[in-house]
Structures are given as structure tokens and as C-alpha cells.
Amino acid sequence: MTVLDPLIHHLLTCEKKRVCLQEVLTKTELPRRPALRALDKLANEGYLQEIADNPQPLRFGEFGPARRNPTWKIIRNLTERPKQSLQKNTLRGRIWRLIRAKRHFTRRDLVIASGAGRGTVDEYVFLLETYGYIKKTGKDGRYTTYMLASRQIARPTGMEGRTS
């Protein structure tokens, strides 16, 4: 569950067309910074419009600019907002995007470019080769080269890992 879920639920259930940050924080019991970022994201997407900002005065011992306390107006129906994809930016997703971009690659290329560990890349390449998404094409010096064998764009899912 993300921070957006309880925020959107609160915005849909409240009868008001205007919401204040303090009100949202007390109703949802979310941390201040993630809630503020999520509300700003909804504003950037065009669901909310910031209409006022009443900065909170600094507490004793605090320095810097005053804390934001914006008020938003709901300008678009939040039920029309598309659901977020459940697939996060994982290492396998990063590796798959590199494979799609390079087409010819070595496992070493993937380790360097993705930032994943050698074991992670080795296991994923083994699975992709086993399920027919990539195939070996030869050697580049001492490294085995691979090639994309499938035209599939979406990252393959449902592959079982090695049980060794």
C-alpha cells in the first residue's frame, strides 16, 4: 500500500472541495513529508489545485524557511485516476530494459550497467535463456555473448528460479 491510497480515499470520502494539509495529516495519520509529496504529485497530475499557502511559524530552535501548510481545491474526479502499476523498478526490470536496448550483450555488460550483483545477473540470464527469451551467440574474448531472441517488450514474469 502506498501513501497515495489513504490520501485518495480521504479525498474521495470528504464532502469538502477544499482540503488543508493539517486536516489530511490528522485524518490519515500519515507522516508529513510523504503526504505533502503525494499531494503535490496529485496537484502536478491536475487533480488538485493549490489555492493558498499559510506557512507555519518556526518552532523554537528551528532554522530555515517556514513549513508549508498549503490548501488545495479538488478540481478533477480522483476515481478517474489510473491505478499505479504494481511492478516497481526492480533489478530484473532494469536488466530487462538493458537487454532490450543493447540486443547483443555479455553478462559483464549487464552487471556494469545495471548495478546488480553478478549472481543476480547470472541467475536472471540463466532463466531468460531457459525460457527462450535470449540465446547464446558466441564469445567476446573470454565472455559469452547473448542476443535477444524474443520481440517481447514487457518484462517476462512467472519464471521459476533455480533450486540448487
Do residues 63 and 23 share a domain?
yes
161 lies in some domain = no
* pLDDT(2) > 80: no
Range of the domain at 122: 91-148
Residue 164 pLDDT exceeds 50 = no
User: What confidence tens digit (pLDDT) does each residue in 16-43 have?
Assistant: 788 888 888 888 888 888 889 888 888 8
Q: What is residue 124's predicted lDDT score, i.e. its pLDDT?
A: 93
**Dihedral class, residue 78 (left if φ above 0, else alpha if ψ from -120 to 50, else beta):** alpha
d(CA 5, CA 41): 13
Does 139 lie in the same domain as 119?
A: yes
**Do 43 and 50 form a contact (C-beta atoms < 8 A)?**
yes
Confidence at residue 24, expressed as pLDDT on a 0 to 100 scale: 87
Domain count, the chain: 2
Question: pLDDT tens-digit profile of 102-157?
Answer: 889 999 999 999 989 999 999 999 999 999 999 999 988 889 999 998 877 777 87
pLDDT tops 80 at residue 163 = no
Q: Is residue 37 situated within a structural domain? A: yes
User: Do the domain assignments include residue 153?
Assistant: no
My answer on whether 18 and 69 are in the same domain is yes
Q: Which amino acid is at 110?
A: L
Q: What is the CATH number of the domain that holds 122?
A: 1.10.10.10
Judge if 111 and 70 occupy the same domain.
Answer: no
Residues 74, 117 share a domain: no
∠ CA 153-159-164, nearest 5°, is: 140
Q: Report pLDDT digits (tens) over 56-90.
A: 888 888 888 888 889 999 888 888 777 665 556 78
Residues 65 and 22 in one domain: yes
How many whole angstroms separate alpha carbon 94 and alpha carbon 99?
A: 9
Domain annotation covers residue 35 = yes
Q: Are residue 42 and residue 97 in the same domain, yes or no?
A: no
Residues 10 and 54 in one domain: yes
Residues 99 and 69 placed together within one structural domain of the fold:
no
CA distance 146 to 17: 56
pTM of the model: 0.51
Asked if the structure places residue 154 within a domain, the reply is: no
Name the residue with cell 489545485.
49
157 in any annotated domain: no
